[in-house]
Amino acid sequence: MLTGKGLIAGVMGWPVGHSRSPLLHGFWLRHYGIDGAYVPLAVPPDRTEQAIRALPAMGFQGCNVTIPHKEVAFRIVDRLDSNARRIGAVNTIIVAEDGTLEGANTDAFGFWENLVATAPATWSVTRGPSVVLGAGGAARAVVVALLDAGAPEIRLLNRTQARAAEIAADLGDPRIMVGAWDGRDVALDGAVLLVNSTSQGMNGYPPLEIDLSALPTDALVTDIVYVPLVTPLLAAAAARGNPVVDGLGMLLHQARPGFHAWFGTDPQVTDDLRRFVLDPR
């Protein structure tokens, strides 16, 4: 039930109709019986700063930020958490008690929590190299998560190698090894983890072209894409015996810190939530 004392948050994007965040936050609000609401905020790019700065005046606890506003939000907020600063983008804004805006990035948290919740108990990222494909914002979050988890080596490959080199330079960690895209098959040798953070394999895009022959069969394979839930990469990896992790959990887990900050409850990612977000009918 929503009353005049209800806590309000939302997701800001342009467009925003495709976002599944209202579904998952709405599920948690109902599940935990919280007096609050989470609403879509369709904000055109030329109104981003105006909309973000209006959050305290409108009584919002904060909001999520999605494409194309993440980098703009990074420049507008009053304070940044360490992950937002390292990744260079904000996906969560929290209105502090004094009305100032705190910018956070929870994508690294969401990626890692999804892995540890799904990976076999015997798997460890510290046992060998990780291979990350892509060099966008998601790849930055993935690399930050793996560095913090103790990955001894991260082999970062992107079709435009200069973008991967930029991530390595920005993060400044010698464990990041930038490789050529046409060497991605060889880069799998000895890896304990393969992460596809590109759009290849998503509905409407071509599948990722990669030969998994060199990848050890006990290596974990994950794809940040969740439409479809089982991408061609995950299907091919599972067929050869590799444990796989789909991308939906990253979406769900990255929402937890924001929900906790806005509504005061640390929500759980459950099978019921997964089923609802995939098919809310």
Q: Is the pLDDT at 167 greater than 80, yes or no?
A: yes
Provide the terminal-to-terminal Cα distance of the chain, rounded to the nearest Å.
21
Q: Spell out the domains of the chain, with CATH numbers in brackets.
A: 7-106+254-278 (3.40.50.10860), 120-242 (3.40.50.720)
Lowest mean pLDDT among 120-124, 131-135, 190-194, 224-228: 224-228
Is 136 one of the annotated binding-site residues?
yes
Q: Which of 25, 69, 70, 253 is catalytic?
A: 70
Taking each helix axis as running N to C, give the angle between helix 107-118 and helix 256-263, from 0 to 180 degrees, rounded to the nearest 10. Answer: 120
Is 162 one of the annotated binding-site residues?
yes
Is 93 one of the annotated binding-site residues?
no
Q: How does pLDDT run across 234-244, given as a tens digit for each residue? A: 999 999 999 99
Output the pTM of the full model.
0.96
How many other C-beta atoms are found inside a 10 Å radius of the C-beta of residue 143? 31
Q: From CA 269, how far away is CA 25, in angstroms rounded?
A: 11
- Catalytic annotation present for 70: yes
What's residue 71's pLDDT?
87
Is 85 one of the annotated binding-site residues?
no
Q: From CA 148, how far away is CA 108, in angstroms rounded?
A: 9
Is 91 one of the annotated binding-site residues?
yes
What's residue 222's pLDDT?
98
